[in-house]
Structure 1
């Protein structure tokens, strides 16, 4: 018989407006403690010095994390020209400098190189695994290694502001697995001036917006009171990018037991991934085949 999890059986999403100076995992652990939740996880890591949307899933909502992780995300960040660092942000050591500073026109002209389907090399100080080891651990040990380029979809990269010759503020919308630090580094190389990220904020992530996020100060203030439940968002928000198929109570019972169940559909095609609902509540995620949903994940709500 398995061990029973401690804490409340609570499910849904909490959107945190993460402050600088704390890791994403530390935010999750603090929120789980504050809400006395059995289970929690986040949908996309932010660097410790980055701020903005950190969507935290509780309970059964953790089963929808992959769909939020795969969704588009938007960032606003400041690039510092004239310096390259070993971490590609302000946390690292300056390893090279340049007196060259690009014009606004040169910056705007370079940005299209970083949009669409691109190949991106993650920073050496990142969680990418190299032969089973995290890249940042190898980098801290001064190991000599290379990271292979990875595909990334960048939907938009635009200049927002040019505060002075040393800095530019950019907005980027991209898919899963993008490193803003790599964009800053590579932009500096293309412009011949070097560069790194000075400030980074995630504006939105999938269906979640930073403006709707709560602060860690509020989490601390309301910890263990139950009042944080008022900020709980439905599990179903994590499924917004999938088509919804309605089902009957009989079909819901079959689906929750891991069996195919009949669903009502209109424009979903054979083999499409979708989710089944009963009275607006998620029942299961799976593949649609000939009038039935074949579940891959079921929700015990």
Structure 2
């Protein structure tokens, strides 16, 4: 009987919605950051758009409440990273946390590095690191790798918009900046670039500088989050859930259309240049009402926002 009561119990916390841009420090998992944000806001619901490795820093976009319904659009958006590649060494994790498994005395010139970068641009196929969250027969790859099992991961498609050489501090290190689409592994880029240059390579440090509409320089630190936790002033850092829809066309709906959309039915929207069948979102007085597909003057909702 007690079990039935627990299962039916509503989750405690505030009905608060919006995006919080966190400048994640090294040493924490993305899940740990989300839990801290949920605690600080006393929010019922929270999630993030795009995992960062524990040692990576930079933008971790955390959605609260109804904003969690816009997470897929930030996950799918372009993201930019700056990262330091250690040349001359391969590790089993493709980053500095792993064991060195191969080394080389060869060091490419700046010109050779620049000449190798174009092969990683556009639509490429990328094999994720063995120590990653990719699932193999229902098991996380990193768990299998830690257990000493042989891990074979299939290559996955990735769109890389930009990959540039930013700095060369010394012969052993190169600083790169990359803009890419969903599902990219910076560690794989470092590993494969090192292989292409014949010298091995792994990521020494990594920072996500922006993700969709969110910039690291606008992010809140965890120190500030801790200091302001549970205070009304913290709400001032929240950004509207509508920012999570920045890459979709916006339509405006009539009050009657909004009422229908909120009930999950197609609702009338004002004429626009959105094409038939295109995904868009509808707003009333600037607030998102629903996301859906535009058909003949109406939006057919797939996600509805409860205010």
Q: Same fold (TM over 0.5)?
A: yes
**1:78-135 CA deviation, whole Å, 9 max, x = no partner?**
0000110000001111111110000000000000000000000000000000111100
Aligned to 2:194: 188
Are 2:58 and 1:71 equivalent residues in the alignment? no
Structure-1 separation of matches of 2:31 and 2:232:
22
**1:236-290 CA deviation, whole Å, 9 max, x = no partner?**
0000000000001111110010000000132101100000000000000001011
Name the SS of the counterpart of 1:154 in structure 2: strand
Are 2:99 and 1:93 equivalent residues in the alignment? yes
Q: Runs of 4+ in structure 1 displaced over 2 angstroms?
A: none
C-alpha deviation, 1:170, in angstroms:
0.2
**1:38-60 CA deviation, whole Å, 9 max, x = no partner?**
00000000000000000000000
**1:1-301 aligned within 5 A:** 2-301=8-307
Structure-1 separation of matches of 2:192 and 2:271:
46
Q: Which runs of 5+ in 1 are unaligned?
A: none
Most deviating of 199-208 and 137-146:
137-146
Name the SS of the counterpart of 1:7 in structure 2: coil
**1:138-182 CA deviation, whole Å, 9 max, x = no partner?**
100111131000000000000000000000000000000000000
Structure-1 separation of matches of 2:62 and 2:70:
11
Structure-2 separation of matches of 1:241 and 1:207:
9
Structure-1 separation of matches of 2:162 and 2:300:
36
Q: Which runs of 5+ in 2 are unaligned?
A: 1-6
Q: TM-score, normalised by structure 1?
A: 0.99
Structure-2 separation of matches of 1:33 and 1:170:
36
Structure-1 separation of matches of 2:205 and 2:18:
30
C-alpha deviation, 1:226, in angstroms:
2.2
Aligned to 2:4: none
